[in-house]
Amino acid sequence: MNNKKIEIKNVSKTFKKRKVIKNVSFEILSSDICGFIGPNGAGKTTIMKMITGLINPDKGNVLVNGIDVSKNREKALFGIGAVLDVPVFFGYMSGRKNLQNLARLNHGMSRKQQLEKVEEVLEIVGLKTKTDDRGNDKVKTYSLGMKQRLGIAQALLNNPSIVVLDEPTNGLDPLGMKELRELIVQLKEKYGITFLISSHLLDELQKVCTKYVLIKDGSIKWSGASDTLLNSIEKNKTLEDVFMELLQ
């Protein structure tokens, strides 16, 4: 079986004469938790939008589960869930209602199955527990951490084998970050979900990632297993020092 979950092959993209992605290639394998790192404007969100079919590359190919996103969008995106910087929720509706509406997009499921799926994902992300159900609260009353959880719940609705998260810990407090980290590891271990996560918080990424891709000015500066990187770290240096050197 092919265990390549995401393949980026010689991808380039120009916005208004500015070349923002320059011949980028990398791969993410099954059950990797891959940290996607780079300065502001490096091209992380742009590549994540290509992976989720929101924009097309000018050149090159983006494959999800071996399927080209530009050529067979619907089939490629079937296996993917994402939380990008696009607001998807209606604040005046409950979290549950928002998910119930989004679940309608799962054409392969009956309405009953869709509604069961909503309850399942609310439980997975901890918005519904045995003692507390926050699913019926309006989204506008949710804390940031709860909104992040709802985002992940939405990403899980179609049983994805890959989840893409763009700066998921943005604005979370230390406990919120820890809970999110635990959720990611749990989803990987229990459901074998592969993750691509962008973040500027290297310490946070270091706690979960099995692989890193470093990008700067639209070009890949380094990619590989976190072990390889950690073994290369000299005494008295932190992962941040190594990233900074690689990005220079």
Ligand X SMILES: Nc1ncnc2c1ncn2[C@@H]1O[C@H](COP(=O)(O)OP(=O)(O)OP(=O)(O)O)[C@@H](O)[C@H]1O
| List 5, 32, 35, 43, residue binding ligand X (CB under 6 A) | 43
> In this structure, are residues 207 and 195 in contact, taking their beta carbons and an 8 Å threshold?
no
Interacting partner of 40 out of Mg ion, ligand X, none (Cβ under 5 to 8 A depending on kind)? ligand X
Judged by CB under 6 A, the residue of 11, 24, 28, 42 near ligand X is 42
- As given in the structure block, the two tokens for residue 235 are 């005494």
CA distance 78 to 50: 15
Tell me the closest approach of the beta carbon of residue 76 to Mg ion, in angstroms: 22
CB atoms within 10 A of CB 53: 17
- Alpha-helical runs (H) found in the chain: 44-51, 73-77, 95-103, 111-124, 144-156, 174-191, 202-206, 226-231, 239-247
Q: 32 or 166: whose CB is closer to Mg ion? A: 166
Q: Which among ligand X, Mg ion, none contacts residue 114 (Cβ within 5 to 8 A by kind)?
A: none
Q: Between residues 20 and 93, which has the closer beta carbon with respect to Mg ion?
A: 20
Residue 44 touches ligand X, criterion: CB under 6 A: yes
Only one of the segments 37-45, 114-122, 185-193, 202-210 lies at the binding site for ligand X (rule: CB under 6 A); that segment is 37-45
Q: Which is nearer to Mg ion, 38 or 160 (CB)?
A: 38
**Is residue 157 a contact partner of residue 99, using CB atoms and an 8 Å limit?**
yes
Show the DSSP H helices in 12-79 as ranges: 44-51, 73-77
4: β partners? 29
Q: Is 45 in the site for ligand X (CB under 6 A)?
A: yes
SS3 118: helix
| CB nearer to Mg ion: pick between 45 and 219 | 45
Residues that bind Mg ion (CB under 5 A): 44-45
Q: Which of 48, 42, 49, 53 is nearest to 28 (CA)?
A: 48
From first CA to last CA, the distance across the chain in angstroms is 38
Least distance between ligand X and beta carbon 215 (Å): 7
Instruction: Give whichever of 46 and 226 is closer to ligand X, judged by the CB atom.
Output: 46
Q: Which does 90 bind (CB under 5 to 8 A by kind): ligand X, Mg ion, none?
A: none
Contacting residue, 9, 12, 20, 73, with ligand X by CB under 6 A: 20
Minimum distance from CB of 73 to Mg ion (Å)? 22
